Amino acid sequence: MRKYWWKIAAVVFIIYAIIGGFLMPAPDNLGIIQKSIRNLHFHVPMWFTMIIMLFTSYIYGIMFLSKSEMKYDSLASSFVKAGMLFGLMGLATGSFWARFTWGTWWVEDAKLNGAAIGIMIYMAYYILRNSIEDDVKRGKFTAVYNLFAFPIFIVLIIVYPRMAETSLHPASGDTVGFSDLDLDNNLRKVFYIATLGWILLGTWIATLKYRVTELTRKDEEI
């Protein structure tokens, strides 16, 4: 019997975040943001989940290189897929939020462009995967690609935006992060649980994808 408790926890945490995101007190009068500050509980966990998914994939890539077991390759690719799902949702929600705070769907900003290029790096991961027929070769090539992709990705979405001179996006360039706005810690009460919930849900989706990949692979071997 597989253990379901953490999957139930994922659902409970996210439901808490949906209810709390609307009803808990928040700094609702911040400049152009106003009540959309509550998007913090939904937009930001997408990115955190993506980073955790891609980091997990990075670790499984290294494990595949050292142990050469196909299951690690399946795990690595499944976690990238789940990561991309969350990354695209992060881009979509961010773009929509930008339209009604900054007035446009996209701005030439270190944080936004860095994230877009970062996503493209992992799109290329899939192009690479699909272009190699042999299982073992595909595993090794993509694991090595992953080895370089993840650090560059982190630089693009976190380090480079922070080093930028100016930015509109919070916590990059000359802007402050939400922790400086959350003076009475009301946002944290929802945000941390929301993030944990979405990371668990992402892991769940990734492991489902992994299990299907493994079943397909074993089916093809027979």
Partner 1 sequence: MLLSIAASAQTPMDDFFYSSGKIYVVIAVLVIIFLGLAFYLFRLDRKITKLEKKNEA
Interface residues with partner 1 (CB under 8 A) are 2, 4, 7, 10-11, 14-15, 18-19, 22-23, 204-205, 208, 211-212, 215, 218-219
Q: Which of 147, 144, 61, 45 is nearest to 93 (CA)?
A: 45
- What is the Cα–Cα distance from 152 to 146, expressed in whole angstroms? 10
Which CB sits closer to partner 1, 179 or 216?
216
- What is the Cα–Cα distance from 40 to 46, expressed in whole angstroms? 10
Question: Quick one: how far is CA 199 from the chain centroid?
Answer: 8
Place of tokens 């944290």: 188
Which CB sits closer to partner 1, 13 or 122?
13
Q: How far is the CB of 211 from partner 1 (least distance, A)?
A: 5
Q: How far is the CB of 102 from partner 1 (least distance, A)?
A: 25
Which CB sits closer to partner 1, 137 or 218?
218
Which CB sits closer to partner 1, 35 or 188?
35
Q: Which of 181, 145, 165 is nearest to 32 (CA)?
A: 181
Place of tokens 């196909």: 70
Q: How far is the CB of 183 from partner 1 (least distance, A)?
A: 25
Which CB sits closer to partner 1, 143 or 205?
205
Q: How far is the CB of 181 from partner 1 (least distance, A)?
A: 23
Q: How far is the CB of 61 from partner 1 (least distance, A)?
A: 23
- What is the Cα–Cα distance from 90 to 93, expressed in whole angstroms? 5
Q: Which of 167, 168, 188 is nearest to 178 (CA)?
A: 188
